[in-house]
Amino acid sequence: MLKLEQVLCLRYNYILLNVKILESFKLLMLGRALILIREVGIMGFLKFLKSFFQPPKDRNLIPIYLSDKKCNEKIKVLVRKTYDIHSLYEEEGEAAYRLNKVVICNKCYNKINLSIDFDRNYNIIKKTIEGGNFITEEEYNKEEIGSD
């Protein structure tokens, strides 16, 4: 049977070992970070850090940005590839998938009809809209001065 001193000694060694591992891990990470900074520059490194802490984008979702024609409300629609989009067949040209959707403006309840054709890689190749306008992500995120 181990004596109390032996147990304490073992435990102490174990803690010491963990600290050593942690220290060398920290050094390793610091080394990695420095190499990365040298390669991509400090701005690139900050960008990398930002992307590292951001939740990963859901690959199943396609964001569509639009504005309502009636009240100018900006709307973001998240389209699910597996649910909202259906496959097309050869006779319909290069489009592989199509989305037909009715979006209701959450401010004035205006109906906006969307139709978007995608190629095999989910790139938009054709889009039509009634009752609204397509806008870019930047336009969607832009704060409008003067409005509520």
**Which residue of this chain has its Cβ atom nearest to Zn ion in the complex?**
105
Q: For the CA atoms of 47, 50, 51, 57, what is the dihedral angle to 10 degrees?
A: -130
Name the residues that contact Zn ion, by CB under 5 A: 68, 70-71, 73, 105, 107-108, 110
Shortest separation between residue 136's beta carbon and Zn ion, angstroms:
19
Alpha-carbon distance of 67 to 139, in angstroms, equals 10
* DSSP at 69: T
Quick one: how many helices (H) and strands (E) in the chain?
2, 7
Measured from the CB atom, the residue of 27 and 71 that comes closer to Zn ion is 71
Judged by CB, which is closer to Zn ion: 64, or 96? 64
Least distance to Zn ion, CB of residue 110, Å: 4
CB nearer to Zn ion: pick between 69 and 98: 69
